[in-house]
Structure 1
């Protein structure tokens, strides 16, 4: 008989960006036994490694296939991609690795959270990365190798020149969180291949005897003794299993998954739980609330000159800017995309897209379980563009994008705007177009809000309020969304969570 293994000290639920970081960091201590549970597979489609193929991944087995309810703004549901499998969304996203601008973290303490400013997070940002730019304040010894596209697409460089020509600052390091302006953005692409959290963090740790990884494991509910979380019930291979934790359980299932697991365990607002047939175990009204995301409107252009085939992530250059002179920080992102995205006006065979997204959206929505069944789809309602200030921010970005498209730097490409098109010139028609024909930028956050007030779900130490032995450490804890793509911040949250767990 083989000797029985000791119980796990920490059970991590969710093998995405945060889960991979925690599994790797915690098992650096040989005396800490860790179990990582992931609902998806360890064997992902070959296209995952091929950067230009990422738009196809959300509809593959590497994605959950979530959609929102019909949105008030558009009258239609919106696809909300999230990763399923080791690496999570870092295995299917567009590989942009950028810290939010430092001003975007200033409001994180509004609900009482302490120790989560940009300066507090900076050591953890640095710990994640080896930045090839060599810019001040960037990491030099982290697991992730990040840098601009090599080589960049010609049409995107022309867009960058157009931005500078029309009066915008050429940033040196747009990914570092300190600059505004336009520049090539850092990407999680190494030697022409995607580098996910599973690649950078988890794979080097898989040989450690104190780490166990179970894939195909869907978390059903949390198990408690009194108010202490002692384990997780999960389904795998058609059977129900129990994993116990001598120390703590950490939810890293993302903004959608972590909140759903709490709700299925009876933790949340009674108005959400009882209609789903779940008894209230611990009332926390903030669970599933505060859901928000970056919506993105697109200006699609046809060009007479052939656009080179995209070899990287298609969106290699972006800009951050303020929609008004008195904005507290950059609140609009413009990203140049080397393919003509599908649009409602006319198909485009050759061209490019300029995406515009409000980076500090005011619109807030909710998430709730539809049933106690862990395999039932959730009810997701981000309520995109229900706040008028989000529409105004996009209108500002559209005006900027159009000036760039008309610049001399792009004149040689023979640019023609197809969607919304040259006839859409007044504010109402542009606002209507943005509200109707937007998509998710795939950055949902906030459903397990961090703070110390009544609507907070976790405290400043990421502990679920009112319970013991249970933390959440992923994008769901962000009180407000970062003013850029969110994945780099998720890595930093997880790095800090590892320190918090080690010191507890």
Structure 2
């Protein structure tokens, strides 16, 4: 970026999934000047492991991850790591590359607080716009920036799990990623020619030569600046100095469920009581900021196998299932994902085996995000309050029972498997529930801290504008009022695609 340039039409704060989409889409108009600010590095300075699909677990210990942890959780008594990406591409550069819309029913509650035009059918054109789906399934996109599809040859152990699911009575879905089906099937992945495809790869890289797109990395947004009730500028730190960039039209926050809420709070926008506790002046009281934090927790069943499991070639979790724990539910509330490595577990090390992950897809538990000061480099206080609602525990118990039935199937018998964790001596609901609440992890899908709606509890309105202010929107996973039944990255792409349309309106 030309260091002398400080005025732009749009400023996009956060170069993750949503930020890459918006920077690319807005800059398609050569008459619009766009600035993208990203706290992390450029793609060229990200770890080499980013490109290797099987290496994604190693990225949690690198500078490509912010390294956040929750406070000690009431359910377990321990903090929970909550990975999120730092660098162009954001979490799309460190996640497990699952690209699934979630079942259409899980978007029905988005209008509960008055949000208009965000049902699954409303989002469908934007899901389609983001993707070129290799499956050719109906309702899928055919000319989007992302090339998405299932592994051509899933790991044999995962295919055995899929056969076991069908053997035990579950539906074999055709396109589990499309949003219209339940059952088990290989899931779409952001893997192209054996390499991860990030949001920066798909959206940003083709746009970087545009003279009207300006990208600044290693730039930490400090606070938003206002003229009256209009957001006019962003103060940020880069190269050891403080800079100010002004926006003639709008500032849009795309720093995710953690980063966007943090920046609002550091700018004096949020619940008055939280701001006062952090010794912050209240610029604009907005009670919903930082509230409604929720995530998918995941419990893992780990199995040892006597037959050698083939060396992983993909993202490890290549096949999943969406299920209803009760037949009278309006849609699936449980995901099982088959993983071709034995994840670390609290019982015993496993050298050769696999994992079945169990996650409640529509959790009821809600928590909060707070800040302790206006220091832009201070870690946030994160409390998703996992398993605060007993229904979330019951959903996991149902999933464990289903997973065990699949593990006992004839399809897996030839692998000579043994459940190591939690182990078959843990059988009653109380013991299984205690195990799940103590040893779960985050599925890394935090959402909800700037929830969308039209009531007093909402942070942004149906057009993603921050309520009570002008010139300021939020367009990322933080606006999701109720988490859909999917690994959330595909939904964030769709939100950002729609936000681009909203922002380009005259």
Normalising to structure 2: TM-score of the pair? 0.99
Report the counterpart of residue 284 of structure 1 in structure 2: 286
Structure-to-structure mapping, 1:355-374, within 5 angstroms: 355-374=357-376
2:328 and 2:278 map into 1 onto residues whose CA distance is: 45
Deviation at 1:7, TM superposition (A): 2.5
Deviations 1:193-233 (A, max 9, x none): 00000000000000000000000000000000000000100
Decide which of 261, 264, 286 is 2:263's aligned counterpart: 261
Deviation at 1:235, TM superposition (A): 0.5
Report the counterpart of residue 180 of structure 1 in structure 2: 182
Report the counterpart of residue 24 of structure 1 in structure 2: 24
Structure-to-structure mapping, 1:81-480, within 5 angstroms: 81-480=83-482
Deviation at 1:3, TM superposition (A): 12
Question: Partner of 2:21: helix, strand, or coil?
Answer: helix
Report the counterpart of residue 11 of structure 1 in structure 2: 11
Report the counterpart of residue 44 of structure 1 in structure 2: 46
Question: Partner of 2:456: helix, strand, or coil?
Answer: coil
Decide which of 496, 499, 502 is 2:501's aligned counterpart: 499
Is the 2:6–2:244 Cα contact (8 Å) retained in structure 1?
no
Question: Partner of 2:235: helix, strand, or coil?
Answer: strand
Decide which of 60, 80, 94 is 1:78's aligned counterpart: 80
Deviation at 1:333, TM superposition (A): 0.1
Report the counterpart of residue 64 of structure 1 in structure 2: 66
1:341 and 1:58 map into 2 onto residues whose CA distance is: 14
Structure 1: unaligned runs, 5 residues or longer? none
Question: Partner of 2:60: helix, strand, or coil?
Answer: coil
Deviation at 1:32, TM superposition (A): 0.7
Question: Partner of 2:125: helix, strand, or coil?
Answer: helix
Is the 2:279–2:373 Cα contact (8 Å) retained in structure 1?
yes
1:304 and 1:59 map into 2 onto residues whose CA distance is: 31
2:93 and 2:5 map into 1 onto residues whose CA distance is: 31
2:242 and 2:272 map into 1 onto residues whose CA distance is: 26
Deviations 1:111-143 (A, max 9, x none): 000000000000000000000000000000000
1:109 and 1:338 map into 2 onto residues whose CA distance is: 38
2:245 and 2:318 map into 1 onto residues whose CA distance is: 42
Count of residue correspondences: 503
Question: Partner of 2:414: helix, strand, or coil?
Answer: helix
Normalising to structure 1: TM-score of the pair? 0.99
Question: Partner of 2:181: helix, strand, or coil?
Answer: coil
Question: Partner of 2:282: helix, strand, or coil?
Answer: coil
Is the 2:6–2:246 Cα contact (8 Å) retained in structure 1?
no
Deviation at 1:4, TM superposition (A): 6.7
Deviation at 1:169, TM superposition (A): 0.2
Deviation at 1:151, TM superposition (A): 2.1
Deviation at 1:150, TM superposition (A): 2.7
2:352 and 2:440 map into 1 onto residues whose CA distance is: 21
Deviation at 1:149, TM superposition (A): 1.1
2:6 and 2:87 map into 1 onto residues whose CA distance is: 27
Segments of 4+ moved more than 2 angstroms: 2-7
Deviations 1:277-317 (A, max 9, x none): 21000000000000000000000000000101111100000
2:326 and 2:400 map into 1 onto residues whose CA distance is: 13
2:326 and 2:481 map into 1 onto residues whose CA distance is: 23
Question: Partner of 1:58: helix, strand, or coil?
Answer: helix
C-alpha change, 1:296 and 1:6, in structure 2 (3 Å) is closer
Return 271-280 or 85-94, whichever deviates more: 271-280
Deviation at 1:237, TM superposition (A): 1.0
C-alpha change, 1:216 and 1:3, in structure 2 (3 Å) is closer
1:6 and 1:45 map into 2 onto residues whose CA distance is: 31
The alignment yields a C-alpha RMSD, in angstroms, of 1.0
Question: Partner of 1:145: helix, strand, or coil?
Answer: strand
Deviations 1:443-484 (A, max 9, x none): 000000000101100000000000000000000000100111
C-alpha change, 1:235 and 1:138, in structure 2 (3 Å) is same
1:271 and 1:322 map into 2 onto residues whose CA distance is: 40
1:248 and 1:267 map into 2 onto residues whose CA distance is: 17
Deviations 1:134-190 (A, max 9, x none): 000000000000000132100000000000000000000000000000000000000
Structure 2: unaligned runs, 5 residues or longer? none
